[in-house]
Amino acid sequence: MPPRTQALAVTVVATLIALSPGARSQPPRDDRPSPAVTMEELHRSGGVPRGWRFKLPAGDAARGRRVFADLECYKCHAVAGADFPTAAADPKNAGPELTGMGAYHPAEYFAESVLSPNAVIVKGPGYTSPDGRSIMPGYAESLSVTQLIDLVAYLRSLTAGDPHGGAMQGHEAHH
Ligand code: HEC
């Protein structure tokens, strides 16, 4: 084969591989249908399939960033390099830094943190009121489902830098 024909053949084969269904990029895991079950099977296994876990659909991180800004989450949570307004020093505004946090928790944990701050209370200076509850307001009654999903997508996108790990060392110093 002359080199040009050979190069063309390689391109054609590469294109065919790229277009074959198996090689196409998979849709996000959450959008793939799971095998159907009967209602009887569900009831027998405790109401959910074995190994079932609630999965939050994928959201839009850019829209979630705007929700984060609009709700002024940055007043209590620093995000390095995110360019939110600087929060005034106020003891009422304490909270863990969220930089790099996306790599540490699943989406559903973030969703719960926002809806029910008292479900898991992270220890830290000024994080709880005297009654032991989180000072973070719950957003269960104010966020739309879409806002929640987008906000979680934004939190999950915060994987750059690793000060969250560093913040953990900071926490230890306070204990
Ligand atoms: C008044 C301060 C305050 C505001 C406002 C606030 N938070 Fe928090 N947040 C906290 C504190 C304090 C904690 C740690 C105690 C706890 O677990 O609830 C926390 C915990 C979290 C956690 C869990 C962190 C971890 O390491 O597990 C996430 C995620 C979070 N907040 C996101 C948000 C988002 C998103 C908003 C805005 C919608 C927000 N917070 C608004 C104070 C605040």
pTM: 0.79
Rg of the chain on CA atoms, in Å: 23
For residue 30, the CA-to-ligand 1 centroid distance in Å is 26
CB atoms closer than 10 angstroms to residue 151: 26
Q: Indicate which residue's Cα is closest to atom 36 of ligand 1.
A: 73
pLDDT in tens, 26-40: 445 556 788 899 999
Per DSSP, what are the bridge partners of residue 128? 134
Domain boundaries, the chain: 3-44, 61-174
pLDDT at 87: 72
Homologous superfamily of the 61-174 domain (CATH): Cupredoxins -  blue copper proteins (2.60.40.420)
pLDDT in tens, 118-135: 999 999 999 999 999 999
Of 1-15, 67-81, 102-116, 149-163, least confident by mean pLDDT is 1-15
CB atoms closer than 10 angstroms to residue 160: 14
Is the CB of 152 inside a 6 Å radius of any atom of ligand 1?
no
